[in-house]
Structure 1
Amino acid sequence: MAAHLGRVQQRLTALGADEDLAPAGRAHAVHGTDGFDVVLVDPADRGTVVEAIGERAERLVHRYGGCDRARSWDDLAATGVVHDRWTGGTEHLAGADLRAFAELGLVDELDVAEHQPGFLDRYGPYFRRLARAWEPVLGPAVVAEARRVLG
């Protein structure tokens, strides 16, 4: 897990992530995610994560951990709506917040695609479609990286 978290942070940095998105990459799964159910830091213990990576990065990590992917991801670029799997609530993202959230999610999956055998065979069509749908809210470097990794 530590290697994956480090690679996500490094890739985000290489792709031009800002000073809040890059550290969020290093911590993106500390509260678990909808695709990774191991909780390293209780989502209620946000202060510990704030101290480690800063307030804005922690908000991104918390949002990412709580995201109900099945209800959020397909329409994310069009609606900006993130459904929270912990509270059942929704949050509307726009601008830099939407871009950071989408880039974190996609770069996370790009790393898994490169390091988990069979991932692209099983999930490649979904992530190619998702990456194309998200292109309007992603930075050009992330779009190019998604095309490189996903084909």
Structure 2
Amino acid sequence: MDAPREAHDAAPPTTPDAAPNAVDELGRPTGTWAEKDPHGGVVQGEYVDGERHGLWRHRSDAGALRSEGHYDRGRLTGPWTWYRASGGVLQRGELLDGEKHGYWQRFTADGTPIDEGHFDRGRKSGEWTYYHPDGTVRRTSVHRGHPPQAG
């Protein structure tokens, strides 16, 4: 059950100086932007009406892809994947308004699964499977998630 190697290039990141980094008539970021990340590297994607929107990628200073995922009008929403320096998948899953929501998987450096299961608005929900270092199932557990909402 190895984590698939994601097909991503190690192209050098676009530097903030090389990206258009335009602003609209209201002074809001618009179009393609590349920004230095305070943790190192560069993040690049599109701004719409001053908010991150669509696919954004974070690359290390050396150009290796560190993460990629989607924004919907400034909110982390949709599929996201984080990569190890080696290029292997560290973790991947879905986000909804910035919270883990949906199916998630985490992997060791050699691609063996660590755990997998679902999140419900930031909380583990339903059955989760946890693995031994050799990839065999260590245990499963059931999480309740959020209580039903009244109304």
Shorter-chain TM range is: under 0.3
By relative contact order (CA 8 Å, sep 6+), the higher-ranking structure is 1
Higher relative strand content: 2
Task: Give 1 or 2 for the bigger CA radius of gyration.
Answer: 2
